[in-house]
A and B are shown apart, each in its own frame.
Chain A
Amino acid sequence: MFVYCDNAATSPICKPALDAMTPWLTELYGNASGVYKMARDAKTALENARRTAAECLGVAPNTFYFTSGGTESDNWALKSAVEAAGETRRHIAISAGEHHAVLHTAESLKKKGHPLTVVPVDPYGLIHPKALLKALRPDTAIVSVIYAGNEIGTVQPIAELARAVKEKDKNILFHTDAVQAAGHIQTELTPDIDMASISAHKFGGPKGVGALYIKSGVKLPPLLHGGGHERGRRSTTENVAGAVGLAAALEHMTRNRDEFSRKVTALRERLIEGVLSAVPYSRLTGHRERRLPGHASFVFAAVEGELLVCRLDCKGVAASSGSACSTASLDPSHVLLAIGLSHEEAHGSLRLTVSHTNTEEEMDFVVQTIKTVVESCRQMSPLWNAKKGEPLNVY
């Protein structure tokens, strides 16, 4: 059996998206900026895709800009927001639960002289309006808060947070990285939210395409200059097939959301309950209820996550970890540290993200496999007391 449990990393392309894309990758290859019929058809497809996708998010089509993915959208939002804010507003505030695309962008702006505040999260990964307000300064240009966390799946009270920021200072721009949330949960892009990033491959669309929602009236200079595509805001030859795929996938998710979300939540619960009862000294990270439907994340005492992931892979389970050994930098995940885990605890992290294509039987197989693999990893761990069946320094 092979069970793919890493849908938060990327998801398989769904049939409606693939079917919708195929013609635009084959016979209908025209450049959407041309004047002949083939080009005009491509342009029409692009605009239809924009309308469909915008509708799914409940926003106007002319506020929806295609990009190359979540990372570009996040870079665009932050870099251009501080550029537009000018000399009087240079400060940036982000949450401690951000994806690297926001965190590293903010850190690079910090190096260029923009003061940066990282707002702490609570042990469940939630950001409290009070904590966020405390971070604001008279010169704050932009606040960026992730809609739902990629590592621990916690869903933030985004509308409430955006409201709090705007009530304090309506000139601060509010951006949310909704890459994990879009399609999977009903995202509320309220008028207090100025910008939102999404990425197609996280919800069954193709890789290499995403979007940035920019509320009308928000002045955001382009990140990419060139031929003036996307109404002068984002230049590069339009990725028509990608846009069509994004829209088809988002529509598929939106139409079936109630059904998918019910099914995925049940699978996730089966997984969480199964793992917590089968594996001693395991615990869930993130919020028990306020989490993405398909997101289950754990820490296991006295086990190293990279080894866990490698051995699970050999047994047919694809998952991921935020342990130090599994990152290129050899630092444990900043999100796991932000929720108060020690380096040792973060070492034993495992993330499983399931989709509506998974089955109950697969969840039971995953639970059994995790149980076996964790047990055998602990047998070789110098931090595990095999006789007593407990970790040495009780976590």
Chain B
Amino acid sequence: MYTDRVMEHFNNPRNMGEVEDYNAEGTVGNAKCGDIMRMTMRIENGVIEDVKFKTFGCGAAVATSSIATEMVLGKTVEEALNLTNYAVVEALEGLPPQKIHCSVLAEEAIKAAIANYRENAANLT
């Protein structure tokens, strides 16, 4: 049911773990099946210098988090905010219909991490 690309990503996930000196953190949960995704980032001058994820979820959830980190790494915060779950699914060459909801988690985790970064920044000033 999964494409080769999805399998490749859940077998060898990129950017898995936690950024050591992160200044942005987002944890989101999936009400549908109860899964959890956590993104940590180091953002400097509006650019995502490093990003890592941890995911408790299905193969599709792991593959989407893995490829999403690749897609936002080195991008500006604004660019990252424009990342949609559709783009993630496309990059994975498709997901089975019942797994589309898992890709929403990656988009949400990135948005949550950036929101957290902005909050932190606002609190500092």
A interface, CB within 8 angstroms of B: 302-304, 306-307, 310-311, 314, 323-326, 328, 330, 343-344, 347, 379-383
Contacts and interface: CB of A to CB of B under 8 A. Distances in A.
A379 B10 CA distance: 13
Contacts of A347: 34, 56
A49 B32 CA distance: 47
Given A344-B34, A379-B16, A382-B37, A310 B56 contact: no
Contacts of A314: 7, 11
B92 to A, nearest CB: 14
Closest 10 CB pairs of A and B: A325-B58, A306-B58, A324-B33, A310-B59, A382-B54, A382-B38, A330-B33, A381-B56, A380-B16, A325-B33
A382 B58 contact: no
A326 B54 CA distance: 19
B33 A383 contact: no
B57 A307 contact: yes
Contacts of A381: 54-56
Contacts of B13: 380
Contacts of A311: 10-11, 59
B37 A310 contact: no
Contacts of B61: 304, 307, 325
A347 B33 CA distance: 9
Given A325-B35, A328-B98, A383 B56 contact: yes
A324 B34 contact: yes
Mostly, the B contact residues are mixed
Contacts of A344: 34
Given A304-B35, A347-B56, 12 more contacts: A304-B58, A304-B61, A306-B59, A307-B62, A328-B98, A330-B33, A343-B34, A380-B13, A381-B54, A381-B55, A382-B56, A383-B56
Interface of B: 2, 7, 10-11, 13, 16-17, 27, 32-38, 53-59, 61-62, 98, 101-102
Nearest to B32: A330
Mostly, the A contact residues are helix
B8 to A, nearest CB: 9
A304 B57 contact: yes
Contacts of B36: 382-383
Nearest to B55: A380
Contact of A310 (B10, B35, B98): B10
B38 A310 contact: no
11 contacts: A304-B57, A306-B58, A311-B10, A311-B59, A325-B33, A328-B98, A330-B101, A379-B16, A381-B54, A382-B27, A382-B56
A347 B11 CA distance: 19
Contacts of A382: 27, 36-38, 54-56
